[in-house]
Amino acid sequence: MDNLRELYQEVILDHNKNKRNYRKIENPDGFAHGVNPLCGDQIDVYLDLKDGVVEDISFDGQGCAICTSSASMMTVALKGKTEAEAQALFKSFHHALTDEKQHPEDVPLGKLKVLTGVKEFPVRVKCATLAWHTFDAAFKKLKDEITTE
């Protein structure tokens, strides 16, 4: 039960119930659709960049509590971050959930740390990382578009 409390901490349950930035952005700079076929989680991530900074980020879709709260917390964490900071945070978050060893370049996770309890539930790790992968896909698509234009 202790593991379970770790997994479903109050903060997580709160983000699941009261989703932050849960909306569409019309004509976003970046957009991607993410699916976790295992549990049917589906997330859309919308992204606006201005001068290399995440000016606005939002999500919608349907997912389990871990997926939803992770998406919600991600949008809060990423807003106002530079592209480089956002990438570093994604990498560090991913390492924290999937890797045993420490990575010297990892940055502090701040509030996202509450999600690391998911590590004890290997089948749920993908739920927590889906939003981030979707963000990454939206970001990469955007970069591709910029470099190919």
Partner 1 sequence: MSNVAQYDVESIRNDFPILATEVHGKPLVYLDNAASSQHPVQVIHAIKDLYESGYSNIHRGVHQLSQDATKAYENSRAAIRGFINADCIHEIIFTSGTTESINLVAQSYARPLLKKGDEILITHMEHHSNIVPWQMICEQTGAELKVVPISDQGELEMDRFAELLSEKTKIVSVVHVSNALGTVNPIKEIIDAAHAKGIAVLVDGAQAVSHIPVDVQALGCDFYAFSGHKLYGSTGIGALYGKEKLLNKMPPYKGGGDMILSVSFEKTEYNTLPYKFEAGTPNIAGAIGLGTAIEYVQSIGLGAIAAHEHGLLEYATSKLKEIDGLRIIGQAEQKAGLISFVLDQVHPHDIGTLLDMEGVAIRTGHHCAQPVMERYKIPATARASFAMYNTFAEIDVLNEAIKKTIGMFS
Q: Which does 62 bind (CB under 5 to 8 A by kind): Zn ion, partner 1, none?
A: partner 1
Binding-site residue total for partner 1 (CB under 8 A)?
Answer: 23
**Nearest residue by C-beta to Zn ion?**
127
Q: Parallel, antiparallel, or unpaired: how do β-strands 30-36 and 41-50 relate? A: antiparallel
Residue 39 or 53: the one with the smaller Cβ distance to Zn ion is 39
Smallest distance from Zn ion to CB 41, Å: 4
- Residue 107's Cβ-side half-sphere holds a number of Cα atoms within 13 Å equal to 12
Calpha distance 42→26 (Å, rounded) = 19
Q: What part of residues 41-60 is at the interface with partner 1 (CB under 8 A)?
A: 41-42
At residue 74, the 3 state secondary structure works out as helix
Calpha distance 57→146 (Å, rounded) = 18
Q: Which stretch binds partner 1 (CB under 8 A): 34-42, 80-88, 98-106, 140-148?
A: 34-42
Q: What part of residues 2-31 is at the interface with Zn ion (CB under 5 A)?
A: none
At residue 81, the 3 state secondary structure works out as coil
At residue 22, the 3 state secondary structure works out as strand
Establish if 118 lies at the interface with Zn ion (CB under 5 A).
no
Cα-to-chain-centroid distance, residue 29: 17
Q: Which does 40 bind (CB under 5 to 8 A by kind): Zn ion, partner 1, none?
A: partner 1
Binding site for Zn ion (CB under 5 A): 39, 41, 64, 67, 127
